[in-house]
Structure 1
Amino acid sequence: MMGRMTTDALPRATAQTGTHPRPQLLRSAWTDLSGPWGFEHDDHDAGVREGWARPGRNAARTIVVPFPPESDASGIGERGHHPVVWYRRTVTLDEVRAAGWQPGMRLLVRFGAVDYRATVWADGAMLGEHEGGHTPFAVDATGAAREEKPFELVVRAEDDPLDLEQPRGKQDWLPEPHVIWYDRTTGIWQPVWLEAVPETSIDRLGWSSDLPAARVSLELALSRRPPAGTSVRVRIADEDGEELAAVTQPVRSPRARIDLPVHALQNGQGYESMLWSPAHPRLLDATVELLDASGSAIDAAASYLGLRSVSAAGGRFLLNDRPHPVIAVLEQGYWPGSHLAAPSADALRAEVELIKALGFTTVRVHQKIEDPRFLFWADRLGLLVWEEMPSAYAFSATSVERLSREWQEAIERDRSHPCIVAWVPVNESWGVQHIAHDERQQQLVRALFHLTKALDDTRLVISNDGWEHGDSDLLTIHDYEQDRERLAASYRDAAAIERTAAGIGPAGRRIRLLPDAAAPGLADAPVVVSEFGGVTWAPDAPIATWGYGVASSAEDFERRLRDVFGALHGGALAGLCYTQLTDTLQEANGLVDEHRRPKLPLEVLRAIVTDAPR
């Protein structure tokens, strides 16, 4: 029978090369559609009216996907306001076959992210639409594949640079980057690929672990309601291939939960050797098979997971129930030649390696839903991640709907990654600027906190990073004080931290928005200074630079770093997060420049960073 799958050809998910755009759901075949596509700006939004989606149109220019057209890597490099763009590409029959397609199967075109609103056609037939610039989607091109000939794929992307109700993160609304805002990212900016699947197929996998119960849980989503007699077989193995858990269970609906007892976790003296942490990033391989009534595999996918827990108690962040100081760096995920898109899959691995080499155990990915391949390397190499939703800049019913929908999609995409230990739905009251006085904005931030907890109760949630917290598992403070003594005085002991958090904070904003009675968990929440430093040292920068403090020399830069890190080391804080990893355009306050070259010897920077809070 056509359309059957097998585990025989599946890769080991933990041993993958880091190139697959969906690293926790691998099949044996897929086709990368990166590379040259036809491209056109549509500044007058005439394309739909004039039938640009019809096949055979000659595109005016060529773009290299998945780089945004504002970037030089795309081959376009035009940074002005272009609210509508079009892409087109011929998909060959060889590419369809390489994706594993054969009669009886479905052919999906998957998009990692298209900013902001996308419509997709194949040979002039509309396949689907998606809204949300940072989250994945797929369209079904089976009709075109059935013709068994090349077909033309067309994508229209709409990204209004002046629409402040769109979640946009650090993308500037002005024509040129200014202060802490950067060039826009329009259209396709993460991978596009083909994948063939059976009619009834595995659509999503969601892993979680319960260490005290010695159990792993899989939330399984299928493409449709399965035929009678369908079952799922799940197997989990360690890095040596030794089976740790296996379950076969009937499935009667498109969504199912499978619980797998992991008996090795019941050994109270030995179970810690199985846990995932930055020091020991142990991952487990998993295979998931969908079986028909005869026991034959309909579909099969490889995945991986890590066993670990995240909590907070006693004023400390806990990893695997042990205090773990947060030694973090803020990461913009921006490259000079390719902007928000990584220049290559290898660059994502190098970024994780750089962060760890500098001595950080944690990265706060700022105002960006990062490429899943970055998260794979954080899982594989051992780096904790705070994931943060890109903000809208205006508060309205529209922005609330857009923000909450896209945030749910981001959590759904990434909740199986063991590296992610905190969710951050809002930063510095962006999009809720009047939260201190507007009860509706307060309710949104509180609702996002509780929505996040409802979707995933295995991680910490920071309601509004930096200040004006509602309900929150961590109390986070942004403090760019440059004087060592004044900075140290705010955090040297529990009493000092309480004084800082109890009133008006360092930025002139209240740290706690609600009284203790309304948010009782906040009074005892661990405190992290989640932005500090911001020292600029960029003598060779070709543009005017900006920072919270400016060094006059390399020696002055080192002295300033030692001052701000030293002020926070050894106190009562649960952790810290330095701003920032890399220079980003005019915001030149990185520990390394935009090309990832350290501004001081790496061993000097590491020594400054690793004098960690106790």
Structure 2
Amino acid sequence: MEVPRSEYPRPQFVRPDWLCLNGEWQFEVDAGDSGYDRHMHTSDQDLEQRIVVPFCPESSLSGIGNVDFMPTVWYRRSITIPQEWAGRRVLLHFQAVDYDTTVWVNGHEVYRHRGGFTPFTCDLHGVVAPGETAVITVRARDDNRPSQPRGKQSTRYENYSVFYTRTTGIWQTVWLEPVPHSYLRRPRITPDVANGQFHLSQPISQNSAGLKLHATLRDAEGVVTTAECRADLDFAPQLVLPIPKARQRLWSPNDPHLYDLEIELVDRDGQVVDRATSYAGLRSVAIDGKKVKLNGAVVFQRLVLDQGYYPDGIMTAPTDEALIRDIKLSMAAGFNGARLHQKVFEERFLYHADRLGYLCWGEFADWGCSGFGPMHDHQQPGIT
């Protein structure tokens, strides 16, 4: 079968090597939450059903279409880690699983995550190596506890009021990525319009003597600026990327200009240990009384309320083109942005919003809960 939603899931922090794990997985509903006691995490017995990941089992695109309550669900898939990744660590990424998730690989518990809207990563070093087979087993628990952030998901069997069909289990892309033993983690990029520069805070997995961090900012004309610093003193070296006045171009809905950013981790011999690409928009946001200012000027926000629901995918867009279509339809109707309502939208939606000049109010799915901020959306230029 064709792999669904096979586009790169993390457009603001890109490495060339990766493997999409979307597609057919084994699946089973565990109505009594007894699967662990029945050793489903170590069993080699096939699960009862087949599901198309990344679509939730409530959706028609998943091939399941079960809209009843599913307190616990299990997934399993076997995959051979590419041999060409030899000598590198292997990371297993889940972009979103609702809600309380445990992951086992070859019977070993590798990660536990609580939260239905944020990504998490399992480091498989010491569990499975390139060239070997990984049996990935996932248990997702999802109930109706009032303390559990649910957004617009219905707590009743049926839809009611402003609450809609639930999403259980995996609902965004699952993927593998090889990295070196010292590797770059996701950076924090902060625009500084007043001084015409970007501040880069770049976490690294581990430091060793002689490591350096090198960053290159580019636009359509080529290299704008470069910066370098030592990366062997702490785990989050800091860089400033000053932009020459002639190359400063602010991000706005009328001119959604984005700079390309290349980040490299270099060893004492000058060899590149790790490399990733990103992007950034130079813009400022401020509140002046009841006015919102973008780059110092009042911006009138004509926003739609975007629920982020799809008839066939529920909270998961059927295609990347569907995300783009939503934005373009809104803009064609005269709107310049959206309130992303009670849901952390997938990163590709935010990427398309950034490049199309679409303002977004980022919002977490709380519905009475607090303390679960979506930190990974901090540096999206379109997020206000």
* Bin of the TM-score, shorter chain as denominator length: over 0.9
**Aligned partner of 1:290: which letter?**
L
2:378 paired with 1:378: no
Offset at 1:198?
Answer: 0.8
Q: State the aligned residue count.
A: 379
Q: Which of these residues, 90, 105, 114, is aligned with residue 122 of structure 1?
A: 105
- What is the CA–CA distance in structure 1 between the aligned matches of 2:133 and 2:289, rounded to whole Å? 62
Answer yes or no: is the 8 Å Cα contact 1:55–1:123 preserved in 2: no
Counterpart check, 1:362 vs 2:345:
no
Deviations 1:15-57 (A, max 9, x none): xx99211111100111111000000000111111111011522
- 2:167 equivalent in structure 1: 185
The alpha-carbon deviation at position 279 of structure 1 amounts to 1.1
CA distance in 2, matches of 1:369, 1:172: 17
**Distance between the aligned counterparts of 1:248 and 1:212, measured in 2?**
22
CA distances 1:326-384 after superposition (whole Å, capped 9, x unpaired)? 11110000001110111112211111111111111111000000000000000111101
* Paired residues for 1:262-341 under 5 Å: 262-264=243-245, 271=248, 274-313=249-288, 315-341=290-316
CA distance in 2, matches of 1:342, 1:208: 29
Q: Distance in 1 between matches of 2:106 and 2:43?
A: 5
Rounded to whole Å, the distance in 2 between the matches of 1:155 and 1:76 is: 17
The question of whether the paired residues in 1 share the 8 Å contact of 2:6 and 2:20 is answered with no
Structure number with higher relative contact order (C-alpha < 8 Å, ≥ 6 residues apart)? 2
* 2:143 corresponds to 1:143: no
How far apart are residue 178 of structure 1 and its match? 0.6
What's the CA shift for 1:314?
5.6
Partner of 1:351: 326
Q: Secondary structure at the match of 1:118?
A: strand
Q: 1:158-188: per-residue Cα shift (whole Å, max 9, x none)?
A: 001x211001101111111111100111100
Alignment map for 1:32-71 (pairs within 5 Å): 32-71=20-59
Note closer, same or farther for the CA distance 1:91–1:129 as it changes in structure 2 (3 Å cut).
Answer: same
SS at match of 1:418: coil
Distance 1:376 1:135 in 2: 16
Cα deviation for residue 146 of structure 1 reads 2.0
Residue 236 of structure 2 corresponds to residue 245 of structure 1: no
Secondary structure of the corresponding residue to residue 122 of structure 2: strand
Which stretch shifts more, 197-206 or 144-153?
144-153
How far, CA to CA, are the matches of 1:133 and 1:307 in structure 2? 31
Q: SS of the residue aligned with 2:330?
A: helix
* Unmatched runs of 5 consecutive residues or more in structure 2: none
1:418 corresponds to: 381
2:115 paired residue number: 132
Secondary structure in structure 2 of the residue aligned to 1:347? helix
Deviations 1:498-551 (A, max 9, x none): xxxxxxxxxxxxxxxxxxxxxxxxxxxxxxxxxxxxxxxxxxxxxxxxxxxxxx
- Contact 2:90 / 2:129 at 8 angstroms: preserved in 1? no
Deviation of 1:323 after TM superposition, in Å, equals 1.4
Deviation sequence 1:545-576 (CA, Å, 0-9, x none):
xxxxxxxxxxxxxxxxxxxxxxxxxxxxxxxx
Counterpart position of 1:11: none
Percent of aligned pairs sharing the same letter: 38
The structure with the largest strand share of the pair is 2
SS at match of 2:282: coil
Could you tell me which residue of structure 2 aligns to residue 88 of structure 1? 76
Partners of 1:112 and 1:68 in 2: how far apart?
A: 13
Equivalents in 2 of 1:38, 1:234: separation in Å?
A: 42
TM-score, structure 2 normalization: 0.95
Q: 4+ residue stretches of structure 1 with deviation over 6 A?
A: none
Structure 1's unaligned 5+ residue stretches are 1-16, 394-398, 422-614
CA distance 1:303–1:147, change in 2 (3 Å): closer
